[in-house]
Amino acid sequence: MLIGAVILVIVLVLVFWFIGVYNSLIRLKKRVQNAWAQIDVQLKRRHDLIPNLVNAVKGYMKFERETLEKVMEARAKAISAQGVGDKIQAERELGGFLGRLLAVVENYPELKANENVKQLMEELTTTENKISYARQFYNDTATRFNTKIEVFPDNIVAGMYSSKFEAFPLFEIEDKAEKEVPQVDLNI
């Protein structure tokens, strides 16, 4: 009888442990999904600003049609991307083309002086900063989740429900040029 009670206690402890681990994995997964939703909100704002900026600069930048077209193509690709991994890749591409557009705008003083363009550039810069913070939060949350599903003993529970607990991709810098430390020369 004592052995039966001990076995019952051990089984109950294991069941409660299992339930606790499962629920903590679900909570963390929901946090990652929420973090992604926050990025998605900012990306939507960015996608809405881009056509306005392109239309505002179109007349000034007759020689830069290719840049404008690439920005709009990348925007369309980013909007239609499905799944977190595809969206991350499409947004990286769009970010690169946006960076080129902003660099080109810097070469047109009359364009920089245009109030509409100035306001759109400020809004886009603010949105880019918000996206950056949201990506950082997403990466932190996704890393926490990804670590939890790989660490023993939680990986046992995650492995039992492997289709439910898959690792989330991270926003990472893939361009080697962006990873390099900038060289600053203050010699005059």
Q: The domain that contains 119 carries what CATH number?
A: 1.20.1440.20
**Number of domains present in the structure of the chain:** 1
- Is residue 138 domain-resident? yes
Per residue in 138-188, pLDDT tens? 999 999 999 999 999 999 999 998 889 999 999 876 655 554 544 544 454
Per-residue b/e over 76-92, b at no fewer than 16 CB within 10 Å? eebeebeebeebbbbbb
Sequence-ordered alpha helix ranges (H) in the chain: 2-58, 65-80, 84-106, 109-113, 115-150, 154-160, 176-179
Per-residue tokens: 153: 């003993």
Per residue in 10-57, pLDDT tens? 999 999 999 999 999 999 999 999 999 999 899 999 889 888 888 877
pTM across the whole model: 0.75
- Is residue 55 domain-resident? yes
**What range does the domain containing 154 cover?**
43-164
